[in-house]
């Protein structure tokens, strides 16, 4: 087993050739101490034990889903009596990416960030579990189409929708090579189990974000504690590569439909190395959605400009609680 805390001097070591070993406290522990697990949504399926996709061997108990509910790791900040803002990370990422945004929002809002699986119905159950009143949703990157689809079916539940570098145009219909590699046969299975590729490289290749070692420890943790995170990355990459064009087209159709009533803002980090800015401005003009440009941010806007983004979100959404 890997131990995921060690001094930087120990080298990277997170490939298949070895790992870092230490018995000291883990830098990622402080983040996880802030959170809790929220149970929501019954799990459907065949009831069979999950098997690895390469050899068909039954996976260990730690990699198996609960028999009755999803368990969502969630971090909350701010007064629960204030209007709720739910922060949804992109792909591949974690709730940790909003660590700089949460303190800013918590001054006036009840802010929630969580780690999630990509299912519209499961997202609906989570939102209903953590908020009884209307909410504002903030979502980043490649999970935006799923959230837009959820929003289209639950417009009455939303005050605001804020999209951070979402795929919106025909030029966004292909996964970047850094993510596409995880969908490849056999090679994808191997790379998705390597934390250096699955977390470090995927996060730093899409913009100016320079990952600190303490941050890297949090992002690597799921891949070091269970193989299931890698298998999920592989499966979602395959689905994204196959369906992304349709996701983008559906998103455009929903956001430009005359029946779309949710106040919508697109925040765009202009140093995004994955998604081209061309046509984004035209899309926002044609759909009457507000566009805010962040010149110093990349694809993961919340990583590059967290405090600034927190201020922007605070200024965009309503402080009224609407039941």
What's the pTM? 0.86
pLDDT in tens, 183-207: 998 899 899 988 889 999 999 999 9
Q: Is the pLDDT of residue 235 over 60?
A: yes
Beta-strand ranges (E) seen in the chain are 36-40, 70-77, 84-88, 110-114, 135-140, 158-164, 263-269, 290-294
Structural domain boundaries in the chain:
36-319
Q: Is the pLDDT of residue 323 over 70?
A: no
Q: Residues 194, 291: contact at Cβ < 8 Å?
A: no
pLDDT in tens, 137-171: 999 999 999 999 999 999 999 999 999 999 999 99
- The region that residue 39 occupies, defined by phi over 0 for left and psi between -120 and 50 for alpha, beta otherwise, is beta
**Residue 51's beta-bridge partner residues?**
58
Please report the pLDDT score of residue 224 as a whole number.
80
CA distance 267 to 46: 41
Could you tell me the CATH superfamily of domain 36-319?
Answer: Alpha/Beta hydrolase fold, catalytic domain (3.40.50.1820)
Please report the pLDDT score of residue 2 as a whole number.
38
Beta pairing class for 110-114 and 70-77: antiparallel
Crossing angle for the helix pair 213-225 and 228-256, nearest 10 degrees? 110
| Cα Rg, the chain, nearest whole Å | 19
Query: At residue 182, what are phi and psi to the nearest 5 degrees?
Result: -70, -15
* Closest to 87 measured CA to CA, from 65, 60, 106, 63: 106
More confident call, 203 vs 323? 203
For 49-114, give the DSSP string: PPB-TTT-PBPPGGGSPPSS-EEEEEEEES-TTSPEEEEE--TT--GGGGTTTHHHHTTTSEEEEE
pLDDT in tens, 294-310: 999 999 999 999 999 99
More confident call, 254 vs 51? 254
Q: Which residue is associated with the tokens 């983004």?
A: 309
Please report the pLDDT score of residue 65 as a whole number.
53
- Return the minimum-mean-pLDDT range out of 13-22, 154-163, 233-242: 13-22
Please report the pLDDT score of residue 72 as a whole number.
80
Beta pairing class for 36-40 and 70-77: antiparallel
């Amino acid at each position: 087993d890997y131990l995921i805390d060690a001094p930087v001097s120990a080298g990277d070591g997170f490939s298949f050739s070895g790992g870092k070993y230490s018995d000291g406290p883990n830098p990622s522990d402080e983040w996880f101490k802030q959170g809790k697990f929220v149970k929501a949504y019954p799990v459907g399926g065949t009831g069979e034990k999950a098997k690895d996709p390469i050899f068909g061997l039954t996976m260990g108990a730690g990699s198996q889903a609960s028999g009755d509910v999803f368990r969502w790791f969630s971090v909350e900040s701010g007064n629960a009596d204030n209007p709720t803002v739910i922060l949804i990370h992109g792909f591949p990422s974690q709730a940790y990416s909003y660590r700089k945004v949460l303190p800013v929002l918590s001054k006036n809002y009840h802010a929630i960030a969580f780690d999630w699986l990509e299912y519209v119905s499961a997202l609906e159950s989570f939102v209903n579990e953590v908020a009884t009143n209307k909410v504002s949703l903030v979502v980043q990157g490649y999970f935006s189409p799923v959230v837009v689809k959820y929003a289209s079916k639950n417009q009455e539940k939303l005050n605001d929708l804020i999209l951070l570098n979402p795929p919106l145009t025909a030029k966004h219909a292909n996964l970047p090579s850094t993510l596409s590699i995880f969908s490849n046969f056999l090679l994808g299975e191997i790379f998705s189990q390597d934390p250096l590729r699955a977390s470090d490289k995927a996060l730093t290749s899409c913009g100016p974000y320079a990952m600190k070692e303490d941050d890297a420890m949090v992002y690597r943790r799921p891949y070091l504690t269970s193989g299931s995170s890698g298998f999920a990355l592989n499966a979602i990459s395959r689905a994204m590569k196959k369906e992304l064009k349709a996701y983008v087209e559906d998103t455009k159709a929903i956001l430009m439909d005359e029946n779309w009533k949710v106040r919508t803002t697109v925040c765009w980090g202009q140093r995004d190395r994955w998604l081209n800015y061309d046509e984004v401005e035209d899309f926002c003009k044609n759909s009457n959605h507000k566009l805010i440009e962040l010149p110093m941010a990349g694809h993961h806007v919340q990583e590059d400009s967290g405090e600034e983004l927190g201020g922007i979100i605070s200024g965009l959404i309503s402080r009224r609680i609407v039941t």
